[in-house]
């Protein structure tokens, strides 16, 4: 059962079939992108929420016509339990048979500053080959942290104020570690942004973000020319 409330460039889908509806949205956007531009550029979100969604997608996306990036990454090696790349490998890459060339991994094992610069240069180069001022994703998946963070844009961290860089290393006191993350300029360039929010998330927090509470980083996701979809799991 779904109910869809469309509001300007934002749609809110509250659903009891979370993984199925989220996978459907990803497949729909991929088909639209490939039909319009011959490719699908998606950024994966990390954490645990996306696991059932990635498992659901499987082979339903034209991965050979896709470029997969990551909206953020922990500063750990790719085989580390905390790695977002490893989570994507376990739930998506292994099942969907995705070409190596379709995946652009943030190198969490590198020095954070160098890794961020390297990733940003990669995306800037790709953008230039397409005559774009900044790399434009067809879809960026995002999660919502309990403190209102998204990607690795945590409250009180320096990356929140970054208005020119596209990918930065961000020291996060809360986890006492560095993170690699897209900045708001990169995120807000996307054609479509989809927040994946399962029923473990506090409903008051969700409403505060939906009402634009600027103390919460997720509220600052406002695409320049795109659509934000919230897929919010309801209790069964
Ligand atoms: C990360 C994520 C982060 C995540 C939220 C929600 O690297 O952890 O990108 O932004 O989406 O923290 O995490 P859960 O899905 O595990 O609740």
Residue in the block written with tokens 């969490």: 108
- Digits of tens for pLDDT over the chain (236 positions)? 444 444 449 999 999 999 999 999 999 999 999 999 999 999 999 999 999 999 999 899 999 999 999 999 999 999 999 999 999 999 999 889 899 999 999 999 999 999 999 999 999 999 999 999 999 999 999 999 999 999 999 999 999 999 999 999 999 999 999 999 999 999 999 999 999 999 999 999 999 999 999 999 999 999 999 999 999 999 98
Q: What's the gap in Å between 195 CA and the centre of ligand 1?
A: 11
| Residues facing 181 on adjacent strands | 72, 168
Q: Is the distance from the beta carbon of residue 233 to the nearest atom of ligand 1 less than 6 Å?
A: no
Q: Is the CB of 49 under 6 A from ligand 1?
A: yes
pTM for the complete prediction? 0.96
45 CB within 6 A, ligand 1: yes
Task: Kindly give the number of the ligand 1 atom that is closest to the alpha carbon of 149.
Answer: 10
The answer to whether the CB of 46 is under 6 A from ligand 1 is yes
Among 96, 84, 92, 72, smallest CA distance to 150 is for: 72
Residue 200 C-alpha to ligand 1 middle, in angstroms? 12
Identify the residue whose tokens are 């900045």: 183
* Closest protein CA for atom 5 of ligand 1: 145
Q: Which residue owns the Cα nearest ligand 1 atom 15?
A: 49
CB of 84 shorter than 6 A to ligand 1: yes
Rounded CA separation 55/92 (Å): 6
- Per-residue burial over 185-221, b = 16 or more CB atoms within 10 Å of its CB, e = otherwise: ebbbbbbbbbbbbbeebeeebbebbbeeeeebbbbbb
């Amino acid at each position: 059962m779904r109910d869809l409330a469309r509001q300007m460039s934002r749609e809110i889908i509250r659903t009891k079939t979370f993984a199925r509806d989220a996978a459907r949205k990803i497949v729909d956007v991929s088909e639209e992108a490939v039909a319009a531009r011959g490719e699908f550029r998606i950024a994966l979100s990390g954490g645990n929420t996306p696991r059932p969604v990635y498992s659901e997608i499987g082979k339903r996306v034209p991965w050979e016509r896709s470029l997969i990036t990551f909206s953020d990454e922990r500063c750990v090696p790719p085989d580390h339990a905390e790695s977002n790349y490893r989570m994507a490998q376990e739930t998506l890459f292994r099942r969907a048979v995705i070409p190596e060339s379709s995946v652009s991994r943030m190198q969490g094992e590198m020095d954070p500053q160098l890794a961020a610069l390297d990733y940003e240069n990669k995306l800037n180069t790709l953008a230039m080959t397409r005559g774009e001022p900044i790399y434009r994703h067809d879809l960026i998946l995002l999660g919502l942290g309990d403190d209102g963070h998204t990607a690795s844009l945590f409250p009180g961290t320096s990356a929140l104020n970054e208005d020119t860089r596209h990918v930065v290393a961000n020291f996060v006191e809360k986890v006492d570690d560095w993170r690699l993350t897209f900045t708001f300029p990169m995120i807000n360039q996307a054609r479509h942004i989809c927040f994946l929010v399962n029923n473990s998330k506090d409903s008051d927090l969700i409403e505060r973000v939906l009402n634009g509470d600027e103390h919460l980083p997720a509220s600052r996701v406002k695409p320049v020319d795109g659509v934000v979809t919230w897929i919010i799991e309801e209790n069964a």
